[in-house]
Amino acid sequence: MQIAHIDTGKDLRGGQWQLLTLARGLRERGHEQVIVCQRHSELERRASIEGFRTQGMALSGMARLGTIRRLRDVLHREEVRVIHAHDGRGQTVAWLASCGLNICRVASRRVTFLPRSLLLHRLKYDRTCHGVIAVSVYVRNLLIKSGIPALKIAVIPDGIDFPEKLPNPSEKLLLRRSWQFSSEDFVIGHAGAFTAEKGQETAIQAFQLLKLPHSRLLLAGDGPTRTQLENRYAADGRIRFLGHLADISPFIDTLDLFVMPSRSEGLGSSALVALSRGVPVIATRTGGLPEIIEEGVNGWLVYPSSPRDLAEAIRHAASGLARLREMGERARDKARQFTGDIMTERTVDFYQELMKRFHLQ
C-alpha cells in the first residue's frame, strides 16, 4: 500500500514521534511511504536519518499553492492509496491536494481543544476526510460533540517501543550517579514541550511546597515558556532544566516518579514511556490521562492547576518506596497495551476498513 503522511509542525514533539513510530511499523509490514513535512523541520531531518522518503513543503503565501500542486502530482504519479494527515493544518493541505482523486483521506486528532467555529470544525473533519483517528476516548467524545459522526471515528491510542529489559539496580545506580544523584535522592521528573497547557510551573510550585529531603526535580523539553521559568526559578538548585532530549529513556530510568501536570492532554505519550519503564505517574484528571493512569494501581490522579494537590500526591508516593516499586511493575503491565505494533495494526485495519467502506480499493 502506498501511504503519504502529512505533518506541518516545525518541532519534533509527541505527534511527530508518533508519526515516526507508525511509519516504522508500516515499513516493517512492507508498505511504501512518503512523509510530507515542513522544509528544514526536525521531522524532515529525523525522517531522512531513518531512511524515509520525505517531501519538503512551504506553508506561507503563494508557496503554499505550489506545495499543494506538487503534492497532488506526487499522489497521482505514485498511486498513493492513503493520505494521512497528522495535524489540523495538514488535514487542510491533504484535502486540497487530493480532492477528486481516488484516495482514502485519514486525519489524526490528538488535541482536546475545540475551535471557535464548531461548524467549520464539523465540515473539516466530516466532509474533507473519510475517517478520523482519535488518540483517546476523551478526544473521540469531543469530536462527536462537535458533530462528527461516531462511525467515522476510530480510537487508536499512541504507541510506544516497549522495553522488555530494564536496567538492573546496579545499572540504575550508575546511571543516577552520572546525573550526580545518589540512591538516597528522590528524583521526580517531567518531559514535554514547554507550553502553558503542559503545566510545568504547577510541577515546580508543588515541588517547592514539598520540602522533601534529598528530593530533586528534573524538567526535560524545550518550548516558549522554558526561558521564563528557568529564569524565575534559577535560585532553586534542586531543580534542573535539561532542554530537549532526543531519547528520554535514560532520563526516565533515573526517576523514582514521573509527573504529568497538564491542563489539557489528548493522551500523554511521555507518561506511557514512563509507565513502560516501570516508573509510576502522577497525572491530572484531564483529557485522556485517566484512560492510562489508574488511581492507586500504576499512579495517582490529581486536579489540574493545583500545586497543593500535586504536592500531597508526591508526598504520599515518596512515603512508601516498596509500594512505589510494586506500582512500577503494574505500570509496565498497563503500558504493554500501548505498543507501537498494536497502534500500527489497528491503523492498518482502519485504513482497509475505510477503503472498503468507500469503495477506494
Q: What is the pLDDT of residues 109-168, one digit of tens each?
A: 999 977 666 777 777 788 899 999 999 999 999 999 989 999 999 999 999 999 999 999
Strands across the sheet containing 215-220: 239-243, 215-220, 186-191, 257-260, 281-284, 299-302
Q: What was the pLDDT predicted at 262?
A: 98
Closest CA to 171 of 254, 245, 274, 247: 254
| Grid cell listed for 99 | 480532492
pTM for the model stands at 0.95
Which phi and psi (to 5°) does residue 285 adopt? -80, 70
**Mean pLDDT across 328-353:** 97
Q: Which domains does the chain have, with CATH numbers?
A: 2-159+340-357 (3.40.50.2000), 169-338 (3.40.50.2000)
Q: Where are the alpha helices (DSSP H) in 99-219?
A: 118-127, 137-145, 169-178, 200-210
Has residue 222 got a pLDDT over 80? yes
Which 3 state secondary structure label does DSSP give 315? helix
Q: Which of 118-122, 194-198, 327-331 has the lowest mean pLDDT?
A: 118-122
Residue-wise pLDDT for 47-61, tens only, equals 999 999 999 988 766
